[in-house]
Amino acid sequence: MDFPISHSHISPVYLVAIGFLIGVMGGFFGVGGSFIAGPALRAVGLDWNFAVGTDLAHIVGKSVVAAKRHRALGNVDLKLGLIMAVGTMGGAEVGAQLIQMLKRTGNVNFVVSVVSIVIYVSISSFMVWEAWRTLQYQKKRRPRAKVPGTAAKQDESSFSHRTDAIQRFKLWPMISLPASGIKAISLWIIILVSFIGGLFSGFLGGGAGYIRMPMLVYVLGVPTHLAVGTDLFEIIISASYGTFSHAIKGNVDILIALVMHTGAAIGAQIGAISTQYFAGPKIRLAFVPLPLIGAAIVIYTLFTGHKL
C-alpha cells in the first residue's frame, strides 16, 4: 500500500500485525512499545524521523483505548496521572536539553547507548529478583490486603518495606491517593518520579513506560494493576504532546498510524482485559524481557553501527 505523506510503500498486514503486538503489550504492561515499533517501521524502509513521529501518533490512540478499558476495570488513578503529567513534561524537556548538550560534545550515541543498556539491564535484574522473592514469599503465606475493599488490586512486594519508608517521608505538601490505596505521600516524591520518567523519555526516546511503571510500583507503592492503567493514562498526555511536536515538524504520517492503530486498538483491549487474570508479581515477572529486548537492540546498534 502506498502512503503518500511519507512517500513509502508498506504492507498494511505488516503494520496491523506490529500494531496488534504492541497493543497487547501496551494494554498488559502499560508501556508505549516504541522500542519495538520504531525499529519495526525502520525495517520496512520508513525514514527515522517518520518512524519516531508516526510511532508516537499510534501510541496516543492505543493508550487511549487501553486506558479507557483499564479505567472501566478500576485500574486508573486519575489524580496521580494528572500530577505526574506535570513532572513528565519538565523531565522530557531536560532530557532533550541533555541530548543537545551531548550532541555538541560529539559523543551522544555512545553515552546514550551505554546509559540505556545499564538502565534496561538494571531494571530487568531488579524486577526478576523482586518478583521472584515476592512469589516465593506468597507461597509461604496467604496474601493480606492493606486497604479493605481493594483486595483484588492490592499486591505484595518484597520491596514494600522501602516503599513504606518513602511514604512515611514527611515533606509538605502531603497528598492522599485513595484510588491507589495510598493514605499519604509527599507531592514532591510523585513529581520526582515523573520527572525521572520524563527525563529518560527525553533522553532515550519513547514514552519511558519501562522505567515509569516499575517506579510507580516500587517507589510510590501503587498496586501493579493501577500502575499499568495510570501509566497508560499518563502516556496519553505525554505522547499527544510528542505527536503534536513531531507533526508540526512534518514527521507524522497519520495514515500509517491509523493502519497500525487498527491492530493496536484490538490488541490493547485484549492486553488490558488479560491483566485481570494475573497477580501483580506475575505481571512484573512477565515485564522483565521488555527492557532486555530494548538493551539487545541498543547493543546491536552499538556494535554494528546499523540502526534497527
Q: Binding residues for another protein, per CB under 8 A? A: 4-5, 57-58, 60-62, 64-65, 68, 148-149, 151-152, 240, 243-244, 247-250, 252, 254-255, 257-259, 261-262, 265-266, 269-270, 273
Q: How far is the CB of 234 from another protein (least distance, A)?
A: 16
Roughly what angle, to the nearest 10 degrees, separates helices 280-287 and 289-304?
Answer: 10
- Looking at beta carbons only, is 46 or 57 nearer to another protein? 57
Roughly what angle, to the nearest 10 degrees, separates helices 12-29 and 254-274?
Answer: 40
The type of residue at 181 is G
Q: What are the φ/ψ torsions at residue 185 (nearest 5 degrees)?
A: -155, 145
- Looking at beta carbons only, is 42 or 68 nearer to another protein? 68
Q: How far is the CB of 73 from another protein (least distance, A)?
A: 11
* Residues of the chain by 3-state class (helix, strand, coil), percent to 5: 75, 5, 20
Q: How far is the CB of 131 from another protein (least distance, A)?
A: 24
CA distance 200 to 187: 20
- Looking at beta carbons only, is 113 or 240 nearer to another protein? 240
Q: How far is the CB of 41 from another protein (least distance, A)?
A: 16
Grid coordinates representing 236? Answer: 496519553
- Looking at beta carbons only, is 86 or 273 nearer to another protein? 273
Q: What are the φ/ψ torsions at residue 8 (nearest 5 degrees)?
A: -125, 165
- Looking at beta carbons only, is 27 or 197 nearer to another protein? 27
Closest C-alpha to 228, from 162, 164, 282: 282
- Looking at beta carbons only, is 100 or 276 nearer to another protein? 276
Q: How far is the CB of 292 from another protein (least distance, A)?
A: 29
Q: How far is the CB of 146 from another protein (least distance, A)?
A: 15
- Looking at beta carbons only, is 54 or 167 nearer to another protein? 54
Closest C-alpha to 122, from 281, 284, 299, 291: 291
Roughly what angle, to the nearest 10 degrees, separates helices 108-140 and 187-204?
Answer: 130
Q: How far is the CB of 157 from another protein (least distance, A)?
A: 21
- Looking at beta carbons only, is 112 or 261 nearer to another protein? 261
CA distance 214 to 127: 8
CA distance 308 to 300: 8
Q: How far is the CB of 263 from another protein (least distance, A)?
A: 9
Give, rounded to a whole angstrom, the gap between the first and last alpha carbons of the chain: 22
189 touches 169 (CB < 8 A):
yes
State the residue for C-alpha cell 513504606: 164
